[in-house]
Amino acid sequence: MNSDWIAFLQSKGARLTDDRHIEFSPSTPNTIEERLYPVTHLTTFKVSGDDASTFLQGQLTCNINDLTDDQAGFAAYCNAKGRVISNLLICRQHDAFIVILPTSLLDKVINKLRMYILRAKVTLTREAENLCLLGLNSKHPSVANITLPVNNYQVTKGDPHIIKLPSPSPRYLILADLDHAKRFWSQTVDSQILQKGDSNLWSYQDLSAGIPWFDESVSEQYIPQMLNVDKLGGISFNKGCYTGQEIVARTHYLGKAKRELYLAECSNAEIIDRDTTIIDGDNGESSAKIVAFCCLGQTCRLLLVMPTSDSDQKTLVLNNSSQDKITLIPFQ
């Protein structure tokens, strides 16, 4: 995490929370408008070298050859059993690749990738001190004289780089070095073109769109199809082998996954934590697992992995004294 970027945000009234999110004082309203968010809970690393493309092609679920300087993509990095270690967003910069992932999984992913480099001409470099990430809500075609990309995963190159995210409303992820991040903030937020937003609200939107950023507690628990990676365009079933490919392909060709990702909502936000379990309200049996959650006020949204056969039948409740009801809602 870029300490100078955090210091800059703190000078604007920000506070860094224990889970690496940014909150502003006074707190910003939980409304999605023309808004700019620090995205400090995600981070980046670079994959470079003569063999970078070939190396990633043999490790990730996406087809690296489909990525260009103008087109980013979603992917999963799996273990040999096809379980997702981390989801990734990847953009190409000439012959190198910038990989975006949860900060909490950075060391784990880099360490596991290094085990497979062997004699390949590949270098993995942490970019947290060089790149800042921001989230943008805007319905305008350009912001601060920068044209915004139109199609999902399309990239506007330059300073900063801007990636269009898959979402019903226009959302963009911005990659910028420290100077350009500060300048963009000054040109937009300080000039009152955009409002500043707590990064928790950005996480809420990612989650609502079915983009599952998760931490170590979920890592290596589920195959990509259970985490929406196929629906996000992050799996190629036509490329060659990669780590975990046999399990992922078998699920695809022999029938769909028995469990899938669902978006749910609960009104009793203060009692949700990572150890909360979801049960069937009729018989008390465990019914779903929480992949990620985000709470705004008294409303909490959750990404759940649960059996597809149960999605229309069971009454889901929190496993607590009041058994608060969980409602499944469409991705949005």
Nearest to 189, CA basis, from 20, 312, 32, 9? 9
- Are residues 78 and 198 located together in one domain of the fold? yes
Residue 111's CATH number: 3.30.1360.120
Residue 313's pLDDT is 64
One domain, residues 206 and 282: no
Q: What are phi and psi of 257, to 5 degrees?
A: -60, 145
Q: Among residues 254, 283, 313, which one ends one of the domains?
A: 254
Crossing angle of the two packed helices 3-11 and 178-185, in degrees rounded to 10 = 20
Q: What integer pLDDT is reported at residue 316 of this predicted model?
A: 86
Per-block mean pLDDT, blocks of 10 residues, the chain (332 long): 90 90 77 91 97 98 97 98 98 94 97 96 92 96 94 93 93 97 97 94 95 96 97 94 94 86 83 76 78 87 87 74 83 90
pTM higher than 0.85, yes or no? yes
Question: Where among 220, 236, 254 does a domain terminate?
Answer: 254
Number of Cα atoms under 13 Å in the Cβ half of residue 271? 15
The CATH number given to whatever domain includes residue 305 is 2.40.30.110
Host domain of residue 108:
1-254
Calculate the alpha carbon distances from 294 to 48, 126, 204, 266, 305 in Å: 34, 27, 6, 10, 16
Per-residue pLDDT at 28: 65
Concatenated DSSP letters of 112-162: HHHTTTTTS--EEEE-TTT-EEEEEE--SSEETTEEPP-STTBEE-SSSEE
Q: Which pLDDT belongs to residue 190?
A: 96
Q: Are residues 205 and 170 in the same domain?
A: yes
Number of domains in the chain: 2
Segment (H or E) for 196: strand 195-196
Same domain, 26 and 118: yes
How big is the CA angle at 232 (ends 231 and 238), to the nearest 5 degrees?
A: 75
Structure tokens at 267: 């009104």
The pLDDT, as a whole number, for residue 311 is 65
Residues 328 and 283 in one domain: yes
Two structure tokens written together for 248: 């992922």
Residues paired with 37 in a beta bridge: 135
Any idea which residue has 């990309």 for tokens? 149
pLDDT in the model for residue 271: 62
